[in-house]
Amino acid sequence: MERLLLRNIDRENSNSIETYLSNGGYLSLRKALREMSPGDVIEEVKRSGLRGRGGAGFPTGMKWEFAAADIKEPKFFVCNADEGEPCTFKDRLIIEKDPHALIEGMLIGAYATGCRYGYIYLRGEYPVGRKILERAIGEAYDKGFLGENILGTEFSFDLYIHSGAGAYICGEETALINSLEGRRGEPRIKPPFPVNAGYLWKPTVVNNVETLANIPLIIERGGDWYASIGSPDCPGPKLYPVSGKVKRPGVYELPMGTPLSEIIYEHAGGIVGDRKLKAVFPGGASSSVLTSEEIDVPMDFPSLAKAGTMLGSGAVMVLDETDCIVRASLRLIKFFRHESCGKCTPCREGTDWLVRIVSRIEEGLGSEDDLDTILDISSVMENSFCGLGMAAHNPVVSSVRKFKDEFLKHIKLGRCPFRRS
């Protein structure tokens, strides 16, 4: 497939505005401002079928339509660049290698929805990205793409960067907004959704980096063209970060809906040492695990939901036959215990109990009753306040269900069967 989202990354000085402009950069913004009304832009994005690439897959055009319909002023446009999911490193590529695609996507989105101010909420652990974005924003101001009366029109937009402080929960959009306001990074109740009551309780569009990088392409080539790529229900190009026991880990741009088996064996080169694949977390740290018999699934939102897991950020984490599934799920739940904001009991206490129980099983000190307790705790965690707690137990519970024998082996042997000493 022709590279679309990553079309610029191999060019020399790919992140400079000169490189971007000499390859058709900002022509989509020009087209949107000069030839299209805000409503036309929204219609084009709706026609494209673009769904948010942050993890939840909400239709982008619909989100923009809701924000445009709200008449409260001022409105804000926020790019969620707080990429904190373990093994997710796709947005970083765009931020560092093609920042103007992100800025152009934001400008077109702000024009369509009537937003006057924008923020890029950047992961605190991306200091290189911050420097690159600062330079790119400066270049865009110098060329008249940001600021007052952009390209001689009535559209004005100012853009700022806000660095996070290392909390994963601030990638949840309402916690992000709290953090942007200088408050503690804790989620707010939804509804109201940010499109109606976000930053400073004003209409706020929050879109992920990869989502926004699609926008110049859609405006340039049209929604119908975009909708013809990948899965009919969920079209477009998709960035899949692949890590773990594959020969060629990295970020792969492929049509949405590419089979997971093809991503692992063709693009990522198969399993290290030609060992057997054991398990895959197909959509980031909170996705349910798939076994080696389940990897012929198309990597898109509906297909993975049907398979009992989720696409999430699209981060594929591969385990081979020498990996211990108990230890892998323990690492993931430890991450969520550390990152739980502590606001609600099911998540705060549930993640802690899961760590304690899975730890003792991994050490060979567990009992068979522990497996039922894990399932009980997870059913309570489903009632957590936000997505973090609702999904944190997925890797553990799905591992217990699909690899029960391996958990039992730890219990019966009184040790991890994969440990050499």
Q: Which is nearer to ligand SF4, 103 or 341 (CB)?
A: 341
Burial class (CB in 10 A: 0-12, 13-18, 19+), 13: exposed
Instruction: Report if residue 347 touches ligand NAI, rule: CB under 6 A.
Output: no
Q: Which residue is nearest to ligand SF4 (CB)?
A: 389
Q: How far apart are CA 248 and CA 367, in angstroms?
A: 39
**How many residues sit in the footprint of ligand NAI (CB under 6 A)?**
24
288, with CB counted inside 10 A (0-12, 13-18, 19+), is buried
- Please state the closest distance from residue 185 (CB atom) to ligand SF4, in A: 9
**Distance from C-alpha of 205 to C-alpha of 157, rounded to nearest angstrom:** 14
Residues of the shown chain interacting with ligand SF4 in the complex, contacts defined by CB under 6 A? 169, 187, 340-344, 347-348, 384-386, 388-389
Stretch that binds ligand NAI, among 186-194, 227-235, 296-304, 355-363 (CB under 6 A): 186-194
Per CB under 6 A, does 66 bind ligand NAI? yes
Residue closer to ligand SF4, measured from CB, 87 or 392: 392
Question: Least CB distance from residue 83 to ligand SF4, whole Å?
Answer: 17
Q: Residue 173 binds which entry of ligand SF4, ligand NAI, none, with Cβ cut-offs from 5 to 8 Å by kind? A: ligand NAI
173 binds ligand NAI (CB under 6 A): yes
Q: Residue 232, preceding bond cis, omega within 30 degrees?
A: no
Of the listed pieces 17-25, 191-199, 269-277, 301-309, which binds ligand NAI according to CB under 6 A? 191-199
Asked if 54 is part of the footprint of ligand NAI (rule: CB under 6 A), the reply reads yes
Cα end-to-end distance, the chain, whole Å: 47
Interaction partner, residue 341 (ligand NAI, ligand SF4, none; CB < 5-8 Å by kind):
ligand SF4
Residue identified by tokens 């890590």 is: 243
CA dihedral in degrees (270, 271, 276, 279; nearest 10)? -90
Instruction: Using the minimum distance from each CB to ligand NAI, give the nearer residue, 70 or 370.
Output: 70
Point out the residue whose Cβ comes nearest to ligand NAI.
55
Residues 358, 223: Cα–Cα separation, whole Å? 47
Check residue 206 for interaction with ligand NAI (CB under 6 A): yes
- CA-to-CA dists, residue 419 to 71, 108, 182, 246, angstroms: 61, 54, 46, 21
Min CB(76)–ligand SF4 separation in Å: 23
For residues 118 and 64, give the distance between their C-alpha atoms in angstroms, rounded to a whole number.
Answer: 14
The answer to whether 109 contacts ligand NAI (rule: CB under 6 A) is: no
Binding partner of residue 195 among ligand SF4, ligand NAI, none, CB cut-off 5 to 8 Å per kind: ligand NAI
- Binds ligand NAI (CB under 6 A): choice among 99, 194, 230, 350: 194
Q: Which of 193, 201, 265, 418 binds ligand NAI (CB under 6 A)?
A: 193
Tokens of 251: 């970020």
Closer to ligand SF4 by CB, 340 or 378: give it.
340
Among 38, 49, 61, 84, binds ligand NAI (CB under 6 A): 84
Residue 419 burial by Cβ neighbours in a 10 Å radius (0-12, 13-18, 19+): exposed
Say whether residue 55 binds ligand NAI (CB under 6 A).
yes
The binder of ligand NAI chosen from 51, 63, 75, 92 (CB under 6 A): 63
Q: Does 313 participate in binding ligand NAI (rule CB under 6 A)?
A: yes
Q: Is residue 399 involved in binding ligand NAI (CB under 6 A)?
A: no
Stretch that binds ligand NAI, among 84-92, 107-115, 228-236, 255-263 (CB under 6 A): 84-92
Phi–psi pair at 304, nearest 5 degrees: -75, -30
Q: Least distance in Å: CB of 52 to ligand NAI?
A: 6
Q: How many CB atoms lie within 10 A of CB 134?
A: 12
CB-neighbour burial class of residue 46 (10 A; exposed 0-12, middle 13-18, buried 19+): middle
- Of 187 and 366, nearer to ligand SF4 (C-beta) is 187
With CB under 6 A as the contact rule, the residue among 44, 77, 81, 85 that binds ligand NAI is 85
Q: Which residues bind ligand NAI (CB under 6 A)?
A: 52, 54-56, 58, 63, 66, 83-85, 88, 171-173, 190, 193-195, 206, 284, 310, 312-313, 387
